[in-house]
Amino acid sequence: MQLWIYKAAMIEIVCNDRLGKKVRVKCNPDDTIRDLKLLIAAQTGTKPEKIVLKKWYTVYKDHITLDDYEIHDGMNLEMYYQ
Amino acid sequence: MMAGDTDNGETEIALSIEDTNALRIKLGLKPLTEGNKTAKQEEAEENYVKHKEELAKAAQRKALIDRVSKETEKAKRNRQLEGKTLGEASDEDDSTADSLEWVRKQKEREEKQKAKAKRKQLELAKKKASELMEMDEAATSSYTPSHLKGLRVDHSLEDIAGGGETILTLKDATIMENEEEGDILHNVNIADMERNRKNLENKKKKPGYNLYDDEEFNAPGEKRNLLSQYDEELDGPKRNGFVISEEGTVDLDQKRKEVSEKLRTNAVSLSYEKTQEIKDYYTQEEMVSFKKPKKKKKVRRERKQLDFDALDEEAPIHETVVRDHGSRRRGRTQEDDRMDIDEVPRSSRDAPQHSEQMDYELSNRNANIEDVNFVDDDDLQSALARARRLQAQKRSKSDVEEIAKAAREIKEDDTVEEGAVVLSATSEFVRNLATAPVVKATEPARTNRPALPKEDLEEEPANTMEVDDEDQEEKGGWDHERERSTKSLDSSVEDVMEQDDGDRLPAPIEEEPLVASGLAATVALLSQKGFVEKASAEVLERERKQSEKRAWLAEQRKRDLLREIQKEKEKERNKERNKARGGGDRDRDWYREEQEARYAERERAREVEERFRHYIPDVNLDYHDEYGRKLNAKEAFRQLSHKFHGKASGKMKTEKRLKKIEDELKMEKMSSTDTPLGTANALLERTKAAGAAHVVLSVGNRGVLPADVALAEAKPAKPARQARANVTTTTVVDTDRNVNTYNREKVTFGLGAGTSSGASKRKQSSDDGPVSKRFKEEE
């Protein structure tokens, strides 16, 4: 018996660079990291290529989906600039 | 786009769904999937709900069960309180006043309850009994006595047969034991009893051997072993069980029969013949039972028989002689035989040669001894033979050859070669006998002659040569030696005389050279007495080197001088030449001078080189301490080390060293002829003064020196010092006097130096040195 439940398909992710920018982004779980970066870029006004998303020491790669990274609703991601 | 304040004051940028969707479209992404669930998600949700429901159901059921159990518990509890309580009862019938009635009622009720319980029990018992009956029937119907056939019972028959019924069970056994012995029946009670009996027996501590336990107390036909008390421990417990025979019965009589059988075989008849006559000797029948223990017969090697033809004639005698081994009975018979035979020669005495022949035969001298084996112990002999053989093998052929060679050599040595000198212990001894006294007698003064005349030196080798030549004749033993010694007496005397002092045999008393004859004699004396050490080879070598060096230095000095003179001369000559020339061209002059100077320089260098060719410096490093003592290597190193480190040894160590040095100095100063206190000298003086060879210290048992014995003329110059004089006393018994008077004299051999000093001064003329004084005394 499978017990996991999807409350909503859309998820909200918070990205914080701890320098004064904190973005709440709504996105689909099947979006790639690249898409997420585009959204963030649109909201913050930085170039998407400059954004690095991290959780601890894991640098998220562009071509992988949020679902695959097991990024769920309400999670916090670290944002850096390169 | 909206930006809202969060809790920590940061501005959070967020977009609404619509804005986001618009943005996504702009970016080329699909819009947000809002609330749309996939089939998987739906299933998951359903599952979740189902699971929740199930959980709830389970909880409900559990609650129900709990409630039911609670109820039943409660009911149980209530059931025990059956009947009416005291209050209820009293309420029911109003007979509280009649206590007797109440008691009766109570009793009734109790009886009722008891009867009920009894009935129940009876029912139960009946039920159980019927069950057991059924089981027994089931068991016995299939198990018959014939099944017991061959089963062993672990108890003796008496134990079981004793009383009524005995229940036997299968004995506990391990699988191994069961395999070995099969099923064994035993009764637990009897086994316990047996064990108890054994324990009691052990507690009694009966001694293993009972003197009065005769064989008659044993079971019939049984014999007790040696140390039978340990049989059980060694072989395990004795089993006295029996086996059930066919039809599950045991024959009780069987054992009884066996016992009676045994008893019957060993039966002794008690009837005896009263008229039997007593005999001194064993009867034939008794002889059979009485048997001498057989002697162990020695195993003998099968012996080669003698010449049978020859034996036949003398068979009876010879055989007895050879074969008789001392058995008494047999010996008797043989004796008889011999007696028979002896008669024959006696009757024919007139034929002596025949009797002689018989004697020989009797004495087995004629027997072929080579074949007769005299050896008793064949094993020993064979072992010895083997050992001998091995020994012979070991001694190899080469060994034998060597021995032969050695023997030959010895023979050869015995014959002295022509022209050889034979020296042996005997010859040496004889020669010394002849020469020794002559040497002393003839020329005593020549022994230590300091310098020998040259003619003598040249003569003597020739003489010795002669002696050797004359010794060539072959003669042995004493004669030869005597002759030799007499012949070469004169020459050998001289020979001995001329040999070096060191090589000569050391005479018991050596002659002392006269100092008066010269310095050489003095030196000889000193060296003889050990005052002057003889120069060792090393010292001589050093001296030689030093003298060489000195010579070299002198040579150098001489050369230097010569050169100086030469230089002077040259200078003068140059001056004259310059004058004569009158100061010509200066340049050429200078040039010539320069050349000459260079030449001279070269010349001098060569000279120096030449000079130093033979220069062998004699280097001897000596180290001296602050007192001027010569240091050895170790001490020198210490000194150097102390200097180097700027640190000397401590006070104690320094003191110790100084003490040692002091002692050494004392030792050096000590007289070699006298004790440190000069007692020998003092004694000498005293005896001279007294005119006797002894000095009397005390007479009899008086410890004091009497006045009349007199110190004679020897008056102490310094009485104060006499008291301190170190006196060693010895008691000497004068044999002239009566010993019984105990008139003894104590004679000293050592007196204080102080006492004698005055006397010696008076006696001695002051100009005499110690050495000359000694000579005077000896004269």
B113-132 burial, b at 16+ Cβ within 10 Å, e below that, comes to: eeeeeeeeeeeeeeeeeeee
pLDDT band, residue B409 (cuts 50/70/90): confident
> Which residues share a beta bridge with B13?
A23, B3
Among B493, B389, B374, B395, residue whose Cα is nearest residue B435? B493
pLDDT value at residue B708: 52
pLDDT value at residue A40: 92
How near does any CA of chain A get to the CA of B48, in Å?
6
CB contact under 8 A, A20 and B10: yes
User: pLDDT tens-digit profile of B136-150?
Assistant: 888 877 777 777 777
pLDDT value at residue B67: 96
CA B412 vs. chain centroid, Å, equals 51
pLDDT band, residue B163 (cuts 50/70/90): low
CA B619 vs. chain centroid, Å, equals 55
Site from B2, B13, B26, B49 to mutate, A interface, most A CB atoms within 10 angstroms? B13
B630 with B624: CB under 8 angstroms?
A: yes
For residue A22 the two structure tokens come to: 């904190």
User: pLDDT tens-digit profile of B59-117?
Assistant: 999 999 999 999 999 988 887 666 666 666 655 555 556 788 889 988 999 999 999 99
pLDDT value at residue B765: 42
CB contact under 8 A, B51 and A4: no
Residues 6+ apart with CB under 8 A from B355: B345, B348, B349
| Average confidence (pLDDT) over B364-373 | 53
- Flag whether residue B236 sits within 8 Å of chain A, measured between CB atoms: no
| Average confidence (pLDDT) over B416-442 | 63
For residue B530 the two structure tokens come to: 């050990």
- Flag whether residue A19 sits within 8 Å of chain B, measured between CB atoms: no
pLDDT band, residue B121 (cuts 50/70/90): very high
The 8-class DSSP code of residue B223 comes to: -
Could you tell me which residue, B124 or B211, shows the higher pLDDT? B124
Instruction: Return the biggest CA–CA distance within chain A.
Output: 45
pLDDT value at residue B743: 45
Mean pLDDT comparison of A2-16, B37-51, B189-203, B708-722, highest-scoring range: B189-203
- Flag whether residue A13 sits within 8 Å of chain B, measured between CB atoms: no
pLDDT band, residue B707 (cuts 50/70/90): low
Residues 15-54 of B with CB under 8 A from A: 15, 17, 20, 23-24, 26-27, 29-30, 32-38, 41, 43-45, 47-48, 50-51
How near does any CA of chain A get to the CA of B55, in Å?
14
SS3 B79: helix
Of B11, B26, B34, Cβ closest to residue A10: B34
Of B13, B17, B44, Cβ closest to residue A2: B44
Neighbour count for residue B81 (Cβ, 10 Å): 8
How near does any CA of chain A get to the CA of B84, in Å?
59
pLDDT value at residue B583: 56
CB contact under 8 A, B47 and A2: yes
Where is average pLDDT lowest: B83-97, B159-173, B304-318, B762-776? B762-776
Q: What is the edge-to-edge ordering of all strands in the sheet holding B745-750?
A: B696-699, B745-750, B728-732
Instruction: Give A11-81's CATH code, choosing from 3.10.20.90, 3.90.1200.10, 3.20.20.70, 3.30.1490.190.
Output: 3.10.20.90
Could you tell me which residue, B455 or A40, shows the higher pLDDT? A40
Neighbour count for residue B649 (Cβ, 10 Å): 13
Listing DSSP states for A33-63 in one string gives: HHHHHHHHHHHH-S-GGGEEEEETTEEPPTT
Q: What phi-psi label fits residue B733: left (phi over 0), alpha (psi between -120 and 50 degrees) or beta?
A: beta
pLDDT at B747 > cutoff 70: no
Answering whether pTM is above 0.90, one says no
B513 with B528: CB under 8 angstroms?
A: yes
Share of chain B above pLDDT 70, in %: 59
pLDDT value at residue B507: 53
Cα–Cα dist B320/B336, whole Å: 11
| Average confidence (pLDDT) over B220-227 | 67
Could you tell me which residue, B482 or B538, shows the higher pLDDT? B538
Neighbour count for residue B185 (Cβ, 10 Å): 19
| Average confidence (pLDDT) over B342-346 | 45
pLDDT at B490 > cutoff 80: no
CB contact under 8 A, B47 and A3: yes
Mean pLDDT comparison of B187-196, B197-206, B336-345, B701-710, highest-scoring range: B187-196
- Flag whether residue A5 sits within 8 Å of chain B, measured between CB atoms: yes
- With residue B347 as reference, give the H or E element that holds it: helix B328-347
B737 with B743: CB under 8 angstroms?
A: yes
Q: How many helices and strands in chain A, by DSSP H and E? A: 1, 5
pLDDT at B387 > cutoff 50: yes
Per domain, the residue ranges of chain B are 1-31, 107-143, 146-203+230-248, 308-366, 421-529, 537-613, 633-668, 675-778
pLDDT value at residue B368: 55
SS3 B353: helix
pLDDT value at residue B511: 72
Closest chain B residue to A2, measured at CA: B44
pLDDT at B161 > cutoff 80: no
Site from A27, A28, A36 to mutate, B interface, most B CB atoms within 10 angstroms? A28
pLDDT at B568 > cutoff 90: yes
Residues 6+ apart with CB under 8 A from A5: B41, B44, B45, B48
Cα–Cα dist B157/B252, whole Å: 8
pLDDT value at residue B449: 45
Could you tell me which residue, B504 or B16, shows the higher pLDDT? B16
Cα–Cα dist B318/B365, whole Å: 11
β-bridge pairing B184-186 and B696-699:
unpaired
Neighbour count for residue A52 (Cβ, 10 Å): 14
Residues 6+ apart with CB under 8 A from B710: B690
C-alpha dist (Å) from residue B393 to B389, B397, B399, B400, B751: 6, 9, 11, 12, 79
CB-facing half-sphere around the CA of B266: CA atoms within 13 A: 11
> Which residues share a beta bridge with B185?
B153, B170
Could you tell me which residue, B387 or B737, shows the higher pLDDT? B387
SS3 B158: helix
CB contact under 8 A, A27 and B32: yes
pLDDT value at residue B95: 55
Complex ipTM above 0.95?
Answer: no
B435 with B481: CB under 8 angstroms?
A: no
β-bridge pairing B152-153 and B169-170:
unpaired
pLDDT band, residue B598 (cuts 50/70/90): very high
User: pLDDT tens-digit profile of A18-76?
Assistant: 888 899 998 888 889 999 999 999 999 899 999 999 999 999 999 998 888 989 888 99
> Which residues share a beta bridge with B750?
B728
User: pLDDT tens-digit profile of B259-286?
Assistant: 888 888 877 777 766 666 777 787 777 7
pLDDT value at residue B301: 62
C-alpha dist (Å) from residue B589 to B571, B575, B586, B717: 15, 12, 5, 94
| Average confidence (pLDDT) over B563-579 | 88
CB contact under 8 A, B20 and A6: no
User: pLDDT tens-digit profile of B10-33?
Assistant: 678 888 888 888 888 888 888 877
- Flag whether residue A45 sits within 8 Å of chain B, measured between CB atoms: no
The 8-class DSSP code of residue B216 comes to: G
Neighbour count for residue B232 (Cβ, 10 Å): 11
Cα–Cα dist B185/B628, whole Å: 116
Cα–Cα dist B660/B654, whole Å: 10
CB contact under 8 A, B23 and A39: yes
pLDDT value at residue B57: 96
Mean pLDDT comparison of B90-99, B116-125, B507-516, B619-628, highest-scoring range: B116-125
pLDDT value at residue B545: 85
pLDDT at B200 > cutoff 80: yes
- Flag whether residue B738 sits within 8 Å of chain A, measured between CB atoms: no
CB contact under 8 A, A9 and B20: no
CB contact under 8 A, B13 and A23: yes
pLDDT value at residue A73: 85
Q: Name chain A contacts of B24, Cβ cutoff 8 Å.
A: 39
- Flag whether residue B14 sits within 8 Å of chain A, measured between CB atoms: yes
B558-596 burial, b at 16+ Cβ within 10 Å, e below that, comes to: eeeeeeeeeeeeeeeeeeeeeeeeeeeeeeeeeeeeeee
| Average confidence (pLDDT) over B213-218 | 61
| Average confidence (pLDDT) over B225-233 | 77
Q: What is the edge-to-edge ordering of all strands in the sheet holding B242-243?
A: B169-170, B184-186, B152-153, B242-243
Among B460, B470, B375, B385, residue whose Cα is nearest residue B422? B470
CB contact under 8 A, A5 and B45: yes
> 3-class secondary structure for B377-420?
CHHHHHHHHHHHHHHHHHCCHHHHHHHHHHHHHHHHHHCCCCCC
| Average confidence (pLDDT) over B358-374 | 51
pLDDT at B186 > cutoff 80: yes
B758 with B716: CB under 8 angstroms?
A: yes
SS3 B423: coil
Q: Name chain A contacts of B11, Cβ cutoff 8 Å.
A: 20, 22
User: A with B: how many residue pairs have Cβ under 8 Å apart?
Assistant: 76
Cα–Cα dist B10/A22, whole Å: 7
User: pLDDT tens-digit profile of B286-317?
Assistant: 777 777 766 666 666 655 544 455 444 444 44
pLDDT value at residue B239: 72
Q: How many helices and strands in chain B, by DSSP H and E? A: 28, 9
pLDDT band, residue B654 (cuts 50/70/90): very high
- Flag whether residue A22 sits within 8 Å of chain B, measured between CB atoms: yes
Measured in residues, chain A has a length of 82
CA B590 vs. chain centroid, Å, equals 97
Where is average pLDDT lowest: B5-9, B196-200, B346-350, B410-414? B346-350
Mean pLDDT comparison of B182-186, B675-679, B770-774, highest-scoring range: B182-186
| Average confidence (pLDDT) over B492-520 | 60
- Per 3-state DSSP, chain A is made up of helix, strand and coil in percentages (nearest 5) of 20, 35, 50
